[in-house]
Amino acid sequence: MNRLVVVSNRVPDLTASAQAGGLAVALGALMQRRGGMWFGWSGHISAAPAGVALTRTEHVDYATIDLTADEHESYYNGFSNAVLWPVLHTLPDLMHADRHCAEVYHATNARMADALVPLLRPNDLVWVHDYHLLPLPALLRARGVHAPIGFFLHVPFPAPDVFSIVPDARRLLRDMLAADMIGFQTPGDRDNFAAAAHRLLGAARLGESTLVHGGNRVRLGVFPVEIDPRGFAELARQNADSAATQRLRASLGDQRLLLGADRLDPTKGLVQRLAAYRGLLANHPELRGQVTMLQIAAASRQDVATYRDLRAALERQAGAINAESGEPDWTPLRVVARAVPRGTMAGYMRLSRVGLVTPLRDGMNLVAKEFVAAQDPQDPGVLVLSRYAGAARQLTGALLVNPHDPEEMAQAIGMALDMTQDERQDRWHSMWRAIEGTSALAWGRGFVAALINANRSRLDHAAANDPIPMLPAPAEPISLPLALH
């Protein structure tokens, strides 16, 4: 079996007991079963990075590098999180572009490629993850790597006009196309990418899943990220009466719980969600004293100005809701601005009557799947879910809402609170059926199998000297200023 080399900005923190991010959780199952090497940022900043640090564990070798302060500021906070993140989530107004950040982003990717190449062995499979590392496939090829290279984008891909506002948009697309296989969360993300590659680079699409560019065939695929639903259901059962769950239950009395659990991130629609709750309380005075909303908003990326501004805005809004609707003996909204352990969260989810997952846009959103898995099938809670989360394609039993429209969301929350037990069960069953046969492990294996096939078929076409079909150039190229280096 070929060794699998995973490359991602963040690797699991082996020293911390803290919860790893979604990407690390999704890949953890595959790496523990298959073994291999995991390369990425150590999570540390040092003035003069000392090169690659290797940590061997039973199954996985972790190879990490430190970032310099400028790389952390410009590659991670700057270009990755203040340019690519908002644009990929179709929130271009939040983009803070700056030429220096773009240069450091490319240079940091090049430094990562330089550090990785000497660690690669013949017959390795390389799997690159997410928006921090868009240039890596081309940088590895330029350094003579012939191994199969896969790329998976965990976040959404926007419409071509939106993507084109990223500085160096064409260069980024061209660099991604050096991979054998590019994976997306949904068919919409895949189609947006193919359309952008066509309009900005003249790449041609053959059928659904092949792009041809610069004499190369690149396979496109859709691989929705999954959780381990049975494992999470068991965790929720175990935590149904944990000390933390009991304390929360006791504090609620007979009130029904509305729960949100997100990173404190502008894409998560938190301001609109709180506005919906505020409207619901204003229009339904009978709910006073009958419901409580708990919003876990784990602080995240606090070095980025937009994230700090969001935290301040949420604190103001939460204060306004409690001041306006609160009673001496009732606080309508509780906000906790830090992460809670996974088991505690599973217990809270099981206790909730309504789960609020309303991102403005989201690649997948694993919290939505976890909420479903955590429910008691006899007395399940209702999921209110954004139409613009990747998870909405699978979880059609949720109340699907427009996260930009607080009134529509308030109506959906009202419906969820009034819903009969029969309807709650029906909706829950349909959602459970959609996820019960899935797993994070199968997701990882599915991508790796598709990567091996894509590489084989590219080599077969090359060996057979198959002509690349001539296809029409894009009719109407985008006329925005584009730097192509």
Min dist. Cβ of residue 20 to ligand F6P (A):
8
Place of tokens 């939040």: 94
Closer residue to ligand F6P, CB minimum distance, 366 or 419: 366
Min dist. Cβ of residue 259 to ligand F6P (A):
19
Of 219, 212, 59, give the one whose Cα is nearest residue 148: 219
Closer residue to ligand F6P, CB minimum distance, 23 or 196: 23
String marking each residue 349-368 x if it binds ligand F6P according to CB under 6 A: --------------x-----
Helices 229-238 and 342-351 meet at what angle, rounded to 10? 80
Q: Is 430 left (phi over 0), alpha (psi -120 to 50) or beta?
A: alpha
Of 401, 388, 391, 341, give the one whose Cα is nearest residue 371: 391
Where helices occur in 117-252 by DSSP H, the ranges are 136-142, 160-163, 169-176, 187-201, 229-238, 243-252
Min dist. Cβ of residue 431 to ligand F6P (A):
22
How many residues bind ligand F6P (CB under 6 A)? The answer is 10
Closer residue to ligand F6P, CB minimum distance, 155 or 345: 155
Closer residue to ligand F6P, CB minimum distance, 10 or 190: 10
The order of strands in the sheet holding 216-222 is 53-56, 60-67, 36-45, 4-10, 125-129, 149-152, 181-184, 216-222, 210-213, 204-206
Contact region for ligand F6P (CB under 6 A) — 17-25, 119-127, 442-450, 453-461?
17-25
Closer residue to ligand F6P, CB minimum distance, 23 or 318: 23
Instruction: Give yes or no: 362 in active site.
Output: yes
- Tell whether residue 155 is a contact of ligand F6P (CB under 6 A): yes
| Sole binder of ligand F6P in the list 66, 71, 124, 130 (CB under 6 A) | 130
Tokens of 72: 């952390």
Residue 429 carries which side chain, given as an amino acid letter?
H
Helices 22-34 and 440-463 meet at what angle, rounded to 10? 70
Instruction: Given the residues 130, 168, 262, 362, select the one marked as catalytic.
Output: 362
User: Could you tell me which residues come within 8 angstroms of residue 464 by beta carbon, excluding any fewer than 6 positions away?
Assistant: none
| Sole binder of ligand F6P in the list 21, 202, 231, 446 (CB under 6 A) | 21
Min dist. Cβ of residue 366 to ligand F6P (A):
8
Min dist. Cβ of residue 441 to ligand F6P (A):
17
- Tell whether residue 301 is a contact of ligand F6P (CB under 6 A): yes
Fill in the DSSP letter of residue 202.
-
The catalytic site residues sit at 154, 362
Interacting residues toward ligand F6P by CB under 6 A: 10, 21-23, 130, 154-155, 300-301, 363
